[in-house]
């Protein structure tokens, strides 16, 4: 298995960023977003299986959050980055970050969710039936119904690490309210709403990065 990645900056805890669904991570974050974070610590992105950019294709079967989080764990091990990490992601990448934090809470220094939704399994099943969408139809072979069922069943809280929920004002109606569900991930959670569309890292890179830098300032340095 081959996974393309990019790391910049130096320091700890390292920030690991997950791109939205079907998107290569090495191209999903603008320099204006990465640079302020890389000034204080290491920032790494990578291209999940099936998203191109030099990474391998996914296995020929439906995959859930467990599968994708397992690959992330392998990437972190191959990069020899010392835990705990700040795991963050935008849109579906935020759900990947949540899945990793659920699987490995002891390896997480903090969690950042940018415009990641809590998907209702019944709604996902109806959508799949209406659209005829199956795992074969997306590059990552991601199976949305069992994955949403899996994440909906997470017992809350999943840890005591800081959680930062960043929501947009101009995304789907009810987006910020939906995403407030993730405040239950930890007793140390807060939500910030920033003016802009769903792809906040492009529309308001400095504002989003500043929230993450502020989060980092409150975390202990990993020796």
Which tens digits make up the pLDDT trace of 139-172?
Answer: 999 999 999 999 999 999 999 999 999 999 998 8
- Secondary structure (3-state) at 192: strand
Residue 209 class from Cβ within 10 Å (0-12 exposed, 13-18 middle, 19+ buried)? buried
Cα separation, 158 vs 181, in Å, equals 13
Q: What is the pLDDT of residue 223?
A: 54
CA distances from 180 to 61, 111, 168 (A): 32, 14, 12
Mean pLDDT in residue range 76-80: 95
Instruction: Round the average pLDDT of the chain to a whole number and report it.
Output: 95
Q: What is the pLDDT of residue 128?
A: 87
Tokens of 121: 């399994």
Cα dihedral across residues 83, 28, 213, 110: positive or negative? negative
Q: What is the pLDDT of residue 106?
A: 97
Q: Under CATH, what is the fold of the domain 5-217?
A: Rossmann fold (3.40.50)
Note if the pTM is more than 0.85.
yes
CB 97 within 8 Å of CB 88:
yes
Domain boundaries, the chain: 5-217
Residues 6+ apart with CB under 8 A from 87: 16, 18, 97, 100, 101, 108, 110, 111, 112
Mean pLDDT in residue range 68-78: 95
């Amino acid at each position: 298995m081959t996974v393309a990645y990019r790391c910049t900056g130096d320091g700890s805890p390292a920030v690991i960023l997950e791109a939205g669904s079907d998107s290569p991570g090495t191209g999903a974050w603008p320099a204006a977003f990465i640079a302020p974070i890389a000034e204080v610590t290491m920032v790494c992105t990578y291209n999940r299986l099936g998203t191109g950019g030099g990474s391998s294709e996914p296995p020929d079967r439906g995959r859930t959050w467990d599968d994708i989080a397992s690959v992330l764990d392998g990437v972190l091990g191959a990069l020899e980055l010392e835990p705990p990490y700040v795991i963050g992601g935008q849109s579906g990448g935020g759900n990947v970050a949540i899945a990793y934090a659920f699987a490995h809470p002891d390896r997480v220094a903090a969690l950042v969710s940018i415009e990641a939704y809590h998907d209702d399994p019944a709604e996902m099943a109806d959508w799949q039936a209406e659209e005829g969408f199956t795992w074969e139809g997306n590059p990552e072979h991601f199976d949305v119904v069992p994955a949403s069922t899996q994440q909906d069943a997470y017992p809350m809280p999943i840890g005591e690490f800081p959680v930062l929920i960043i929501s947009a004002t101009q995304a789907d109606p009810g987006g910020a309210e939906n995403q407030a569900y993730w405040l239950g991930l930890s007793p140390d959670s807060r939500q910030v709403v920033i003016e802009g569309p769903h792809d906040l890292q492009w529309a308001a890179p400095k504002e989003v990065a500043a929230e993450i830098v502020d989060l980092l300032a409150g975390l202990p340095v990993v020796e």
